Amino acid sequence: MATVTGLNGSRYYINNPIWVKVDTTGDSNNQVILNISKGSEILYSAKYYTFNNVIYFDLSEIMKGLLPEPKHPENISSGQKIKLAQETFSIDLPNFSVSRSFLRGGEYSNRENIKVPTNAILSESEKIPIWSGYPSAKYYFNENGFSIFTEILNNSETEKRRVLSSNPVFLRYLNTKGGYSFWLFDEWKINKSSKEGIIIERRVQNLDLGLSSEGSISLSTKADTRYINTLNALLSSSEIYIYNIQDVLIEENPQFIQSKIWTRVYNKGGKMKWNNFDSVHEFDFNLDFNFKNSSTLIW
């Protein structure tokens, strides 16, 4: 009878390998069928052939394609259950049928099959950094396994940080634990450029087809060693929002100021260095606005 190992936990991170071993010693059949379903619908099916009565496969590669795209819930209230970038699936193998949950997250390590702890607080640091005048929140799993959002934080679980400039940039982003982190950047610079367009020559008046433009923002910050993981998560985050982007883009006409509080931006990468003799480290990031505006007549 086949035995399956590697899935003894209830919830796993998908950014690290989830190796599953199926041992069919004693079975005459050298085929192993894997079915992954949600409800009555089979979402994924595969056939494997054993070698010396054993197969291994990395379940994380499959789950990355089955999980929904990350998207922070909108209009939520404190204490509310929320749906993070996670799903629960039924996994069927020979003589093995279980229900397991998978969360978009992981850790920078060589570890495999990383389980999400029960009652986990989905934060990168022991204490949650907060800044006066800016939102703060905690994301965690309760004892029933539901993911919860709360803006009510105890003093013992937070650390107040200073706002050093008059117009900083404040970010919320998907972290490596499957929740969201916040960080305030006192130093930033807008980068905007346009590309040469096409001019069509005509007998009376030439036609200018317009220029295409793009914009990005460069961010710099300094942080203590205890917040390295918080900023390291931003380096590879696939979901980032800027708070009150109109303060950054400087729209002076009140009739055109955006009312949306959180605006999605896109990661262009960055760099960070740290060492064993400095207690404060410097971090640089680049984000793409991905503007929808285009004055060019070419599409």
DSSP 45-93: EEEEE-BTTEEEEEHHHHHHHHSPPP---SS--TTEE---SEEEEEEEE
Which fold, 3-103? Immunoglobulin-like (2.60.40)
What is the total residue count of the chain?
299
Which residues lie below 8 Å from residue 138, measured CB to CB, with a gap of 6+?
121, 123, 128, 149, 150, 151, 153, 157
- Asked if 100 and 91 touch (Cβ cutoff 8 Å), the reply is yes
Distance CA 49, CA 33 (A): 9
Strand partners, 43: none
Residue 55 CB neighbour total at 10 angstroms: 20
Q: Which pLDDT belongs to residue 6?
A: 96
Q: Which pLDDT belongs to residue 259?
A: 66
Distance CA 70, CA 48 (A): 31
Q: Which pLDDT belongs to residue 247?
A: 81
Distance CA 261, CA 154 (A): 25
Show the DSSP H helices in the chain as ranges.
59-66, 228-235, 246-249
Question: CA 282: distance to chain centroid?
Answer: 22
Distance CA 264, CA 290 (A): 9
Strand partners, 13: 103
Distance CA 177, CA 126 (A): 13
Terminal-to-terminal C-alpha distance of the chain: 60
Q: Which pLDDT belongs to residue 176?
A: 95
What's the predicted TM-score (pTM) here? 0.88
Query: In angstroms, what CA-CA distances link 219 with 109, 195, 289?
Result: 26, 24, 13
Q: Which pLDDT belongs to residue 123?
A: 94
Q: How confident is the prediction along the chain (299 residues), in pLDDT tens digits per residue?
A: 789 999 999 999 999 999 999 999 988 788 999 999 999 999 999 999 999 999 999 999 999 999 988 899 888 888 888 888 889 999 999 999 999 999 999 998 999 999 999 889 999 999 999 999 999 999 999 888 888 999 989 999 999 999 988 889 999 999 999 999 999 999 999 888 777 778 888 888 888 887 777 889 999 999 898 999 999 999 999 999 999 888 887 666 666 666 668 999 999 988 888 888 888 888 999 999 887 777 776 65
Radius of gyration of the chain (CA): 24
Q: What are the sequence ranges of the domains in the chain?
A: 3-103, 128-288
Distance CA 2, CA 41 (A): 25
Q: Which pLDDT belongs to residue 63?
A: 96
Residue labelled with tokens 């969360």 = 103
Residue labelled with tokens 């495999």 = 112
Q: Which pLDDT belongs to residue 221?
A: 93
Q: Specify whether domain 128-288 bears CATH 2.40.30.
A: yes
